[in-house]
Amino acid sequence: MSAGHFFVLGASHHTAPLAVRERLSLDDGATAALRGELAGIAGLHEFTVLSTCNRVEFYGVAAAPAAAAEVQARFCTRQRFVPAEFEQFRLSLSGFDAVRHLLEVTAGLDSQMLGETEIFGQVKEAYGAAQAHGHTGPVLNRVFQKAFQAAKQVRTDTAISVGQVSVANVAVDLASNIFGDLAPTRILLVGAGEIGEKTARAFQSRGAGTLSVASRRLESAMQLANDLGAFALPFWLVPVKLDEFDIVVCATAAPETVVSLAAAQAAMRKRPTRPLFFIDLALPRDVDAATAKLQNVFLYNLDDLAKIAEENRAARAAEIGKCRALLATRADALWRHIEPRLEATSAKPDASGHRTEIA
Could you tell me if 164 and 316 are in contact, meaning their C-beta atoms sit under 8 angstroms apart? no
Regarding 177 and contact with other proteins (CB under 8 A), the answer is yes
Catalytic status, residue 76: no
Regarding 42 and contact with other proteins (CB under 8 A), the answer is no
Task: Between 95 and 275, name the residue whose CB sits nearer to other proteins.
Answer: 275
**Burial class (CB within 10 angstroms; exposed 0-12, middle 13-18, buried 19+) of 292:** middle
Minimum Å gap between C-beta 322 and other proteins is: 11
Per-residue x/- mask for other proteins, residues 123 to 162, rule CB under 8 A?
A: ---------------------------------xx-x--x
| Separation CA 135–CA 98 (nearest Å) | 18
Regarding 174 and contact with other proteins (CB under 8 A), the answer is yes
Regarding 291 and contact with other proteins (CB under 8 A), the answer is no
Single-letter amino acid code for the residue at 291: T
Q: How far is CA 151 from CA 109, 123, 126, in A?
A: 9, 11, 16
**Burial class (CB within 10 angstroms; exposed 0-12, middle 13-18, buried 19+) of 3:** middle
Task: Between 83 and 321, name the residue whose CB sits nearer to other proteins.
Answer: 321
Task: Between 97 and 173, name the residue whose CB sits nearer to other proteins.
Answer: 173
Question: How many Cα atoms within 13 Å fall on the side-chain side of residue 205?
Answer: 12
The site for other proteins, by CB under 8 A, has a size of 27
Which of 25, 141, 149, 176 is in the footprint of other proteins by CB under 8 A?
176
C-alpha dihedral (128, 129, 131, 136), degrees to nearest 10 = -110
Stretch of 62-70, 130-138, 237-245, 291-299 contacting other proteins, by CB under 8 A: 291-299
Minimum Å gap between C-beta 271 and other proteins is: 8
Per-residue x/- mask for other proteins, residues 56 to 85, rule CB under 8 A?
A: ------------------------------
Closest CA to 301 of 201, 206, 233, 199: 199
| Separation CA 83–CA 166 (nearest Å) | 36
Task: Between 93 and 297, name the residue whose CB sits nearer to other proteins.
Answer: 297
Regarding 14 and contact with other proteins (CB under 8 A), the answer is no
| Separation CA 245–CA 211 (nearest Å) | 9
| Separation CA 2–CA 59 (nearest Å) | 19
Per-residue x/- mask for other proteins, residues 337 to 356, rule CB under 8 A?
A: --------------------
Catalytic residue among 53, 76, 250, 323: 53
Minimum Å gap between C-beta 76 and other proteins is: 45
Task: Between 81 and 277, name the residue whose CB sits nearer to other proteins.
Answer: 277
Q: How far is CA 64 from CA 4, 347, 359, in A?
A: 6, 11, 10
Which of 198, 275, 320, 352 is in the footprint of other proteins by CB under 8 A?
275
Which of 6, 47, 75, 300 is in the footprint of other proteins by CB under 8 A?
300
Per-residue x/- mask for other proteins, residues 178 to 207, rule CB under 8 A?
A: xxx---------------------------
Q: How many CB atoms lie within 10 A of CB 184?
A: 11
Which of 27, 229, 295, 357 is in the footprint of other proteins by CB under 8 A?
295
Stretch of 89-97, 133-141, 309-317, 329-337 contacting other proteins, by CB under 8 A: 309-317
Question: Catalytic residue positions?
Answer: 53
Q: Which residues bind other proteins (CB under 8 A)?
A: 156-157, 159, 162-163, 173-174, 176-180, 272-275, 292, 295-296, 298, 300, 304, 307-308, 311-312, 315
